[in-house]
Amino acid sequence: MAMHSVLWFTLAGSVCLQAVAFMIPSWADEKRFGVYQDAVMRLNRSVGTTYYLLKATYHVDPYIWGTYFQCVSFREATFDAKKNKSVFEFTFMNKTRYSHWMTNYTMNRTVRAYKQYSYEKPNALKFPLNAKRMLVKTFMFTDGKTCDLLSVPYQSNKLECELWVKAEYIDDVPLCCLFLLEDRCPRRFTYDIYNKTLCTNPPHRPKSRWTNQIVQSK
């Protein structure tokens, strides 16, 4: 009986360890890749600079950007080195549930460097949400000067990907950035979030028939 109990606990422990190992992505290895995932370095180097979300493996965001988001960018306005905290100024377009037209938005979000997957140094960005909730996006790669590849939690504990590119490289994206997206996020459909024509010359929303009738009646 004792032998069976020991065997059961051994097997149960093995299954638990395998489950934990399965939950941790292969790229979440601080010893091997930590130097390319330094969140504090990333925030410290990008004050005053703008990054564009070039591609993503999802296009509906219930937390910040909304439905069918496009032309997402952010500018890091400030960085507090003592608290490892920044303020991001986001601009983006999305399509609301009851509209067929894209709408422009701007909002600020406080962002903190954060430790994910038991790292000793911060390797992620923490976005506080309402009701004491938070959204954590983990660096799969950043060099602090050209592009970032982020892992993003999505519905049902699924992980999605975001490829951000510094503004000065958005029209000539380094191939290594695109390679990392293909390598780290395989077998996933990617959405083109940045479109130069749309993002530099956003279309004006046409006036409704009701508005035109009011103008003509005056």
Q: Which of 67-71, 190-194, 213-217 has the lowest mean pLDDT?
A: 213-217
Q: Which SS3 state, helix, strand or coil, does residue 209 take?
A: helix
DSSP 47: B
Model confidence at 129, in pLDDT bands (50, 70, 90)?
confident
pTM, full prediction: 0.81
Asked if residue 45 belongs to a domain, the reply is yes
Q: Do 139 and 122 touch, CB atoms closer than 8 A?
A: no
Asked if residue 10 belongs to a domain, the reply is no
Q: What is the mean pLDDT of residues 185-204?
A: 86
Which two three-digit tokens encode residue 151? Answer: 């892992």
pLDDT recorded at residue 212: 43
Asked if residue 31 belongs to a domain, the reply is no
pLDDT recorded at residue 12: 39
Q: Which SS3 state, helix, strand or coil, does residue 175 take?
A: helix
Which two three-digit tokens encode residue 216? Answer: 């003509």
Asked if residue 149 belongs to a domain, the reply is yes
* CA 152/CA 27 separation, integer angstroms: 14
Model confidence at 203, in pLDDT bands (50, 70, 90)?
low
pLDDT recorded at residue 204: 60
Which two three-digit tokens encode residue 69? Answer: 């988001």
Domain with 190 in it: 36-203
pLDDT recorded at residue 210: 38
Q: What's the structural domain count of the chain?
A: 1
Asked if residue 14 belongs to a domain, the reply is no
Q: Do 92 and 70 touch, CB atoms closer than 8 A?
A: yes
Whole-number average pLDDT of the chain: 83
* CA 216/CA 209 separation, integer angstroms: 11
Asked if residue 119 belongs to a domain, the reply is yes
pLDDT recorded at residue 8: 38
* CA 134/CA 127 separation, integer angstroms: 6
Q: What is the mean pLDDT of residues 202-213?
A: 49
Asked if residue 195 belongs to a domain, the reply is yes
More confident residue, 140 or 201: 140
Which two three-digit tokens encode residue 118? Answer: 């038991």
CATH number at residue 133: 2.40.128.20
User: What does the pLDDT look like over 147-191, one tens digit per residue?
Assistant: 999 999 876 668 899 999 999 999 999 999 999 999 999 877 899
pLDDT recorded at residue 188: 77
* CA 38/CA 140 separation, integer angstroms: 10
pLDDT recorded at residue 154: 78
Model confidence at 23, in pLDDT bands (50, 70, 90)?
confident
Asked if residue 193 belongs to a domain, the reply is yes
How many Cα atoms within 13 Å fall on the side-chain side of residue 189?
Answer: 3
DSSP 204: P
